[in-house]
Amino acid sequence: MIIRGFLLSLLLLLTVSPSNGQAFEEAKYGGDFLSVGGGARPLGMGSAYTAVTRDVLSGYWNPAGLSGVDNWQFAYMHSERFAGVVGYDYGAVAMPIEGTGGVVALSFIRQGVDGIKNTLHAWDPEQNRPRSDPTSYMREFSASDMALYLSYANQLTGNWHWGLSAKVIHSRLGPFANAWGYSLDAGLQHRGERYKFGINLVDLTTLMKFWTVDQNELAALQDFINPETGRPETLPEGTNEYVKPSLRIGAGRFFDFGDFTLLTAVDTHMRFEGRRTYYLNAGDVSFEPGIGAELGYKDLIFIRAGVTDVHLDDRSNMYVSPTLGTGIKVGAFMVDYGFSSFAGIASDLGFTHRISLQLTL
């Protein structure tokens, strides 16, 4: 019944369609906040995780990996960038369904900038100057993007496993505008004793995003004159957007040396949006590769390294961003640390530190 209800929910999601007459615009980078991912372990491995994920993080990286979860698992990660201006939170829980071999999971992502000052009402349009007490007219708001994943996975046959993630997103620009969106991810994974293979069709059904704008909150903008036209500013209106499907594909190899183990992985995220600037591309197809490795000792201590953010500059010189990481298992807890963006083009945006905690009951 649980599986049937889950599949019915997915069917209802896919059959929702916009009303007639609604136009959609392509949002080339409309889902980029989801590129950060979840967990410090994948970051330390250069985000090469599609083929090797087998834990609660799989709801994001490849839902098929959830079928490797045998007990309840919880995960949480918090990170900040740009001197703490941008906050990022990720949480997930996975639960095996007894007697079915299936696993369900719920994952949550929020990226946002909080404490932004709204100064629209601090200006006196009649006097054409700030009000005498401008701070009393200021209010703070947040600009954020959120996503909720509902995932299910099970064994397909032999070493093959499959999974689905129904995804709902919500973007908010304070009181001024907000958007809702939805899509579906589908994953497949092959787990041999040594070799791993994975594929994740991201936004398989196309990510549909619907924006609405509160005209009343923006009314103060009409008091300003556009110097190019000499007329009052035109208020923006809500629009509908879509994000094209993309493809994550990866492979991995596992080595067992007794007390030591070595896991190697390679991934690429293929997009079909015509991202030509600074990306490896072939026509409208761009490639975002990642390579990673993890050395473990007695399944207790782990050291990781990888390469990600492969970019070209305006002279076609190639740059990469190395990643590093470590992990330690203490009883039912797994603590992971990841570090990246300390070299290459990505270093211009500052270092990235991530610490994540995972609990297995």
Q: Which residue has the higher pLDDT, 28 or 335?
A: 335
pLDDT band with cut points at 50, 70 and 90 for residue 3: very low
CB 174 within 8 A of CB 152: no
Question: pTM above 0.85?
Answer: no
CA distances, 274 to each of 29, 189, 317 (Å): 11, 28, 20
Give the pLDDT of residue 349.
Answer: 55
All domains of the chain in start order, with CATH: 25-360 (2.40.160.40)
Distance CA 312, CA 263 (A): 28
- Tens of pLDDT, residue by residue over 76-109, are 998 877 666 788 899 999 999 988 889 999 999 9
CA dihedral sign of residues 228, 233, 237, 243? positive
Task: State the average pLDDT over residues 25-48.
Answer: 86
For the chain, percent of residues with pLDDT exceeding 70 = 83
Q: For residues 106, 52, 287 and 108, what is the CA-based torsion angle, rounded to 10 degrees?
A: 10
The count of other CB atoms within 10 Å of the CB of residue 8 is 10
Asked whether residue 8 carries a pLDDT value surpassing 50, the answer given is: no
Distance CA 235, CA 218 (A): 7
Give the pLDDT of residue 230.
Answer: 52
Contacts 24+ apart (CB under 8 A), 180-185: 180/209, 180/210, 181/207, 181/208, 181/209, 181/210, 181/241, 182/13, 182/16, 182/207, 182/208, 183/207, 183/208, 183/243, 184/10, 184/13, 184/14, 185/63, 185/149
- What is the secondary structure of 53-121 as a DSSP string? --STTHHHH-GGGGGG--S-EEEEEEEEETTTTEEEEEEEEEEE-TTT--EEEEEEEEEEEEEEEE-GG
- Residues 6+ away with beta carbon under 8 Å from 180: 168, 169, 170, 209, 210
- Tens of pLDDT, residue by residue over 293-305, are 999 999 999 999 9
Residue 279 is classified by DSSP as S
Task: State the average pLDDT over residues 260-273.
Answer: 94
Asked whether residue 215 carries a pLDDT value surpassing 90, the answer given is: no
Distance CA 162, CA 146 (A): 25
Q: Give the helix/strand (H/E) hosting 219.
A: none
Length of the chain equals 361
Query: Average pLDDT, whole number, for the chain?
Result: 84
Distance CA 157, CA 53 (A): 18
Task: State the average pLDDT over residues 208-215.
Answer: 86
CB 147 within 8 A of CB 109: yes
Distance CA 355, CA 336 (A): 6
Least confident of 5-14, 47-56, 218-227, 285-294: 5-14
- Tens of pLDDT, residue by residue over 226-241, are 556 655 566 667 778 8
Asked whether residue 342 carries a pLDDT value surpassing 60, the answer given is: no
CB 50 within 8 A of CB 227: no
Give the pLDDT of residue 130.
Answer: 76
Give the pLDDT of residue 181.
Answer: 93
Task: State the average pLDDT over residues 36-60.
Answer: 93
Give the pLDDT of residue 118.
Answer: 76
Phi-psi region of 3 (alpha: psi -120 to 50; beta: other; left: phi over 0): alpha
